[in-house]
Chain A
């Protein structure tokens, strides 16, 4: 029976100012956690290899391999491939978020976060927020390499910035998926293994590197429904024509749905984990 027995112990109230809840406090706590993430990045800069080197290697490699065959010459392939690489790098980098969150959670410090009177979502949201810095670095490097190689975005600088922001927001949203798998997985390496298995075909079976009209019907159907293609198209339209298209709204809607589903799932799994 769980009837509340009258207790003889007086209820002691917490000190004022300790343990605030509510939206404002939650956001503030998340930013504190993001600050923690950034300090960690500063201490271990080698964590950034994937977002600094990968975009350079991929952009140079794929452009010179595919450029002539697909678009006739390098210059006319750049507007096609840069958005593709940009999206691929950012999405792949969001896996790392899940892996690192997992590693982080295995340490004792997360026990303390759990015992603090803070919003439950703050340690997770903060970690993911800090990782937007990784996406920003990947985005900046991809565009820079592209421009060095001869990309001249017709949409203008504002469109490039907007496209960058779009990709960062979507990558942040998708990182919630990997954060969820990070929380429920037993080891960090299994997270990256499964995630790569899913993401590799998903990024390649899209319009990232080739025009889809040469593909067999079933594959073309897949690349057209693939959400990654929508994001890539949105970026292309933005930087090459300065146009905000339906693909952009579809991408943002998709991102919102992912967060709405996976953020609560992740927090719940995080709470249940001892």
Chain B
């Protein structure tokens, strides 16, 4: 049995809007002190899942606990343990940055003096001191997100939900946001973030759940997910496209796998489980007089994982899923 405390423990969460099952039986286990990424395309049910965990929405079925507190029965306790940064900046447009933070601090029960001090401290930490008095209307998207995150940290909650923290940000601001999130975890917070960006999940998250059509279709560390999609692949480009079939036959003989030809017909891609055997393959190519224009080894990317799991046609979808779960378990 695990002895690591669980920050989030959700089983069979379901939320239906009309006929649309936005979340269709989601299970999540997030260990305290880690970053957990929920990865999925638009409309996969990420925001709805977070809303249920953050007590903003009532689940139609299933249970969820935050640090052992039931989100339905002990909603108020859960609320004091979490910070939520929404997909759209959940700060007040007409107010200044300081006013926003002071109001949230006061609502959380801090005294007037404490609220002021906390706001100054947070604004400094997020590099917003100079803009403190300006109304948010003049804030850039990145500044707004940073203020939003700052507001979530007032009570120093042990668990922070970040719903698509970098959607719509330029690459530089996104990198800044990533650094901020890493710092958060370094201070001991647990972070549950959603994202549609594969590299973001890969960069930040200790574990990733891939979610599609309201279901978790794969779960594991970034490496596990990549490994589950198969090994690295060998890519070969032939000088003479007419020798493609001969080359495929050689690949089948030496590596024991079927190579896939690229649409334009000059390139072969083959899964590479044992790099040593590539030597044999190259030798046999030379013996057969097949000359290579280019050769490379491609590591699997999370994009491939994502596409394989969520983008594949419905018939093969289940198979891919079963394989994945089998290899991770």
CA–CA, A255 and B56, complex, Å: 31
Main secondary structure of the interface of B (DSSP, over half): loop
State which of B150-158, B217-225, B313-321 sits at the interface with chain A.
Answer: B150-158
- Across the interface, B79 reaches (CB within 8 A) one of A9, A11, A111, A115, namely A115
Q: With a CB–CB cut-off of 8 A, which chain A residues contact B156?
A: 15
Most buried by A among B55, B63, B103: B103
Interface residue? B67 (CB, 8 A): yes
Task: Select B107's contact among A7, A10, A33, A110, beta carbons within 8 Å.
Answer: A33
Chain B residue, CB-CB nearest to A2: B63
Q: Does B27 contact A (CB under 8 A)?
A: no
Give the distance in Å from the alpha carbon of A148 to the alpha carbon of B102 in the complex: 42
Residue A108 CB within 8 A of the other chain: yes
Please state if B5 and A109 are interface contacts (CB–CB under 8 Å): no
- Whether B5 and A10, one on each chain, are in contact in the complex, defined by CB atoms closer than 8 angstroms, is yes
A241 within 8 A of B: no
B92 touches A36 (CB 8 A): yes
Chain A 107-134 near chain B by CB (<8 Å), digits 1 or 0 = 1111111111110001000000000000
* B108:A116 contact, CB within 8 angstroms: yes
User: Is B77's beta carbon under 8 Å from chain A?
Assistant: yes
* Nearest opposing residue in chain A for B61, CB measure: A2
A19–B80 touching, CB < 8 Å: yes
Whether the Cβ atoms of B107 and A12 lie closer than 8 Å is no
Q: Are A274 and B51 in touch, CB under 8 angstroms?
A: yes
Contact A8 B79, beta carbon cutoff 8 Å? no
B155–A12 CB distance below 8 A? no
CA distance A43 to B82 in the complex (A): 31
Q: What band does the interface of chain A fall in when counting residues whose beta carbon is under 8 Å from B?
A: 35 or more
CB distance from A271 to the nearest CB of B (A): 9
Report if A115-B68 is in contact (Cβ < 8 Å); known contacts: A20-B109, A32-B103. no
How many residues in B have their beta carbons less than 8 Å from beta carbons of A? 48
Asked whether any CB of chain A lies closer than 8 Å to the CB of B37, the reply is: no
A17, A36, A107 pick with most chain B CB within 10 angstroms: A36
Across the interface, do A8 and B80 meet the contact criterion of CB distance under 8 Å? Answer: no
For B1, B5, B88, B94, the residue with the greatest tally of chain A CB atoms inside 10 Å of its CB is: B94
Query: Are B89 and A108 in contact, CB atoms less than 8 angstroms apart?
Result: yes
Whether the Cβ atoms of B79 and A109 lie closer than 8 Å is no
Q: Is the CB of A112 within 8 A of B84?
A: yes
Question: Contact: A108 with B5, CB < 8 Å?
Answer: no
For residue A35, CB closer than 8 A to chain B, the reply is yes
CB-CB < 8 A to B51: which residues of A? 274
Checking A8, A107, A112, A114 against B104 with a beta-carbon cut-off of 8 angstroms, the contacting residue is A112
Q: Which residue of the partner chain A has the closest CB to B63?
A: A2
Which residue of chain A has the shortest Cβ distance to B2 in the bound complex?
A: A8
Q: A32-B106, A112-B91, A115-B82 are in contact. Are A18 and B56 (CB under 8 A)?
A: no
Q: List 27 A-B contacts (CB under 8 A).
A: A7-B6, A7-B9, A8-B3, A9-B9, A9-B68, A10-B67, A11-B69, A12-B81, A15-B156, A17-B110, A18-B80, A19-B109, A20-B109, A32-B103, A33-B107, A36-B103, A39-B95, A108-B90, A109-B91, A109-B93, A111-B86, A112-B84, A112-B104, A116-B79, A117-B76, A117-B79, A118-B107
Chain A residues at the B interface, C-beta cutoff of 8 Å: 2, 7-12, 14-15, 17-21, 25, 28-29, 32-33, 35-36, 39-40, 43-44, 107-118, 122, 274
